[in-house]
Structures are given as structure tokens and as C-alpha cells.
Amino acid sequence: MIKTRQWAGKFAFESLNPAIVKAAVGICVFAVATAGAAHLRIPLPFSPVPLTGQTAVVLLAGATLGAAGGAASQVLYILLGLIGLPVFAAGSTALMGATAGYIVGFVPAAAIVGWAARGGFRLSALLPAMIAATVIIYALGVAGLMILTGASFNAALAAGVAPFLPGDGLKIAAAVGLSRFTVPFWHGWNK
């Protein structure tokens, strides 16, 4: 029988690259946070898309982790749902229904915000990037509504964009505010 010390010595934990560990932790944390925000939802009787906190998490993931890390966190979130874990607000069939376009839009949205945050926290770069990222989520969401539910363009806008504008304005403000802390923390962690 191998003693614990001998077993631990067989694996070079101390040789793990801290940057890789840091990236993996961040990606996992934001994938789980996106899943958690999916379950903080308010169903809207006039829309097949519920109101959730996910877009704030997606924007914050991009700002904090950068383009690659933010996008990877959302890809992981989608993969968790595809393997059957209950991470989607609309249930396990979300990628076949009304919310599919929005969920797919999380990946490029996080990447765009991450690209804007590459120099650290700069409101002049992050705010327009978060607005653009939200527009991308809307565009893919409307496309998904039209393709998967057969809604017309106007009906998809009315059900999939208009009800969310005020809340998404607040989510952008929250993501900008939180990123003032998460970006410097993340970039300074483990240096």
C-alpha cells in the first residue's frame, strides 16, 4: 500500500502553471454563476423568454476573464446544459426553444466585453462594449425566436427585446459597477 506522502509525491501538483489554474477556476466560477443566474428568473406571460440575471453575469465574465476566458466560461455553461445538467432557465431543452439564440449569444458577447477589457478597467471601453454585447445577445435571440418559434420579426422584437430593455440597462450598470472591482482583482491575483 502506498502511503499518502508517497502518493502525493507521484503527482507534480507544484508544477501546475498558476495561470492555467487561475483561468480554469475563473471559467468554472462564471459558468456556475451563469447557471445560478438562470434560475433567478421571472416568467413573463407575454414572452416565451423569462427575465433572468444571466446577461449581467455574461458581461461580467467577459470583463473579468478577458475575451478567451469569458467566452470559454459561456461555452462551458452551454456544454453543462447539453449534457443534461439543469443549468438553463427554460429547462434542458433550452437550446431547441425560444431561448436558444440568447444562450448562443452569450459566447460572442463575453468575448467582445473581454476584448474591450484587455487593458484593465476603462469605463470608456467597457460601457460601449457591454452595450454592443447586449445588442448581439438580442440579435441572436430574435433570430432564434424567429427560426425556432416561427415568430415574425416584429413579434420577436416585441416579445424578445422590448420587455428586457429597462432591465438590461440596469444589468449593464451593475456589470460595469462590479467590474470596477473584479477586473483589478482578477488581473492582480496570483502575480
Q: Give the least confident one: 10-19, 38-47, 140-149.
A: 10-19
How many Å apart are CA 68 and CA 156, to the nearest integer? 30
With 90 as the cut, is the pLDDT of residue 179 above it?
yes
**Percent of all residues in the chain with a pLDDT value above 70, rounded to a whole number:** 87
pLDDT band at 12, cuts 50/70/90? low
pLDDT digits (tens, 9 = 90+) for 105-137: 999 999 999 999 887 888 889 999 999 999 999
How many Å apart are CA 24 and CA 10, to the nearest integer? 23
H helices then E strands: how many in the chain?
7, 0
One CATH from 3.40.190.10, 1.20.1560.10, 3.80.30.20, 1.10.1760.20 for 17-188? 1.10.1760.20
Position 13 scores a pLDDT of 57
With 90 as the cut, is the pLDDT of residue 171 above it?
yes
